[in-house]
Structure 1
Amino acid sequence: MRLQARSWLAAALLAAAGTASAGITVDYVKPDEFMDMPRSQQDRERVLKEVTRHFNDLAKDLPAGQELKVTVTDIDLAGREEPRRWAIDDIRIMRGGADWPTMKLSYTLEQGGQVLRSGEETLKNMMYQQRINRYSSGDPLRYEKQMIEDWFQKAILGSQVSQK
């Protein structure tokens, strides 16, 4: 009986934690028209899926009960995609000049149906190759992730008042 009571208690705690967790919704408006995305449909989908996953990872730091809604209207990845003469796929060349990553988005941060913060932003990582980056050099979106994380820390978490 004791074991069953512990199981019920554990299940109740898990259910409570699930309903109290922060969440995020990420939408993309006309992603096929974004300024700089891979040409292949499969690679474009991979980029959007990875960007969404990164937003989801960051949203784990939101205080319980808060919901962030992000609408991405444009993405320009770091570097430029250039065709390779005898290859099927293209290669992304990063020269560190005016080829920095940018992203246009709008966002709304809510809690209990009340808007805490909202706005439109153009994210930029102009010094992307000169900064220390905690993401792996093997991560093709390491500069974009750094840019998104910088924005998230400053705009979303920066002036948070803990409501626990």
Structure 2
Amino acid sequence: MKPLMRQLALAGLCLLSAGGALAAEVTVNYIEPGKFADMPFEPWERENVLKDLTEHFQKLGKQLPADQNLTIEVLDIDLAGRIYPNMRGQNLRVLRGGADWPRMRLRYRLEAGGQVLASGDAELSDMMYMQRNNRFSDGDTLRFEKQMIDDWFNKTFLPRR
């Protein structure tokens, strides 16, 4: 019985390692996040924002061919809306649809087999963020930033259909 268990465990490991190779690798680095134009004041909130954005970039990367690696360096973030201090201890982010649109500055490099397929700097922004249909739920605090990132990713990396 032990050899069978060992074979099943080995087969499971092989499947797991093969499954990991089915998606492109996406690496996201935040360059001096303490100097970003607009981030929440509380450290735990900042960590949540960066974690959520990283997960979103990685989710988008699953659309790339498995042999490709995408590296993104986020140089600056200005979230939609403006933060206003609240007397009750929790700050409020107010979205007015004026000059408070989301912005992001980044550098990217897409590689496959040691060759650079695409690279550059990008200035993302969405001045019409409040007037557009957004596929993310109202409960997603980064729905406008994610929509903006989706637009950039689709235009930059996915072939026209």
Instruction: State whether TM-score is above 0.5.
Output: yes
Letter of the structure 2 residue corresponding to residue 82 of structure 1: Y
Mapped to 1, the partners of 2:7 and 2:155 lie a distance apart of: 44
**Structure 1 residue 159: deviation in Å?**
6.0
Is 1:113 the counterpart of 2:121? The answer is no
Q: Measured at CA, do residues 20 and 112 of structure 1 come closer, stay the same or move farther in structure 2, by a change above 3 Å?
A: farther
Unmatched 5+ residue regions in structure 1?
A: none
Mapped to 1, the partners of 2:133 and 2:21 lie a distance apart of: 36
Letter of the structure 1 residue corresponding to residue 59 of structure 2: D
TM-score by length of 1: 0.88
Mapped to 1, the partners of 2:150 and 2:20 lie a distance apart of: 24
**Structure 1 residue 11: deviation in Å?**
5.1
Task: Give SS of 2:21's match.
Answer: helix
Q: Which deviations, in whole Å up to 9, do the C-alpha atoms of 1:37-73 show, x marking residues without a partner?
A: 1111111111111100111111111111100000000
Partner of 2:90: 89
Partner of 1:41: 43
Q: Measured at CA, do residues 20 and 113 of structure 1 come closer, stay the same or move farther in structure 2, by a change above 3 Å?
A: farther
Mapped to 2, the partners of 1:122 and 1:98 lie a distance apart of: 16
How well do the aligned residues superpose, as a CA RMSD in angstroms? 2.1
Range that drifts further, 5-14 or 123-132: 5-14
Pairwise mapping of residues 120-135 of structure 1 onto structure 2 (< 5 A)?
120-135=121-136
Range that drifts further, 16-25 or 109-118: 16-25
TM-score by length of 2: 0.90
Pairwise mapping of residues 137-156 of structure 1 onto structure 2 (< 5 A)?
137-156=138-157
Q: Measured at CA, do residues 92 and 65 of structure 1 come closer, stay the same or move farther in structure 2, by a change above 3 Å?
A: same
Q: Measured at CA, do residues 10 and 41 of structure 1 come closer, stay the same or move farther in structure 2, by a change above 3 Å?
A: closer
Unmatched 5+ residue regions in structure 2?
A: none
**Structure 1 residue 19: deviation in Å?**
2.7
Partner of 2:73: 71
**Structure 1 residue 26: deviation in Å?**
0.1
**Structure 1 residue 9: deviation in Å?**
5.8
